[in-house]
Amino acid sequence: MIHPYYKTPYLFQIKRSGELNTMIFYLVTGALTSLTDYSLFFLVFNILTAGLLWATGVAYVGGLLVSFILSRYWVFKKNATGQEFKTSAWRYGSLLVINLIITYLMLWAMEQWFGLTPLLGKFVVWFFMIFWIYGANKYWVFKGPRQVNKRLFGM
């Protein structure tokens, strides 16, 4: 018999809830997004010999497309089911603006206050963003359609 006050370890709780798979899919999506971004940058900059601005822009857009599509239709599919595409796209775009501001402010603060170069600071920001973006995607961007609480209306 299991003791009534026994608390299941957290890892088993997230595995049982299916959240562990979501986390793994999210990390795989991040790796594929980074691979797409870097590959497109390399292709446009080195092989097509376009300028830095074009290469950066194409790589960024390619990475964003991969990230959005995989997040909506694979990672957070359960949450996004029934949610309109334009809602997901608008929220995702808004989150990108917020992420850009957070990234800049964190890099600026680390350089000004701690003397950390932006090249090293990017790793700190990247580590923070893994958790921030996961939560924002799960609870806001791909949250799904708004649910009406039937108990409020006596149903």
What domain range is 56 assigned to? Answer: 8-75
Q: Answer yes or no: do 87 and 63 share one domain.
A: no
CB contact at 8 A, 110 and 116: yes
What's the rounded Cα separation, in Å, for the pair 91 and 89? 6
Give the domain-ending residue among 52, 75, 98.
75
- In the DSSP assignment, the letter for residue 4 is T
Q: Answer yes or no: do 70 and 92 share one domain.
A: no
The token pair at 20 is: 């562990």
Give the domain-ending residue among 75, 104, 132.
75
pTM for this structure? 0.70
Q: Could you give phi then psi for residue 50, rounded to 5 degrees? A: -80, 170
Number of domains in the chain: 2
Q: Answer yes or no: do 27 and 51 share one domain.
A: yes
pLDDT at 76: 84
Give the domain-ending residue among 23, 54, 75.
75
For 86-138, what is each residue's pLDDT tens digit?
888 899 889 888 888 888 888 889 888 999 887 777 778 888 888 898 889 88
- pLDDT reading at 6 higher than 80: no
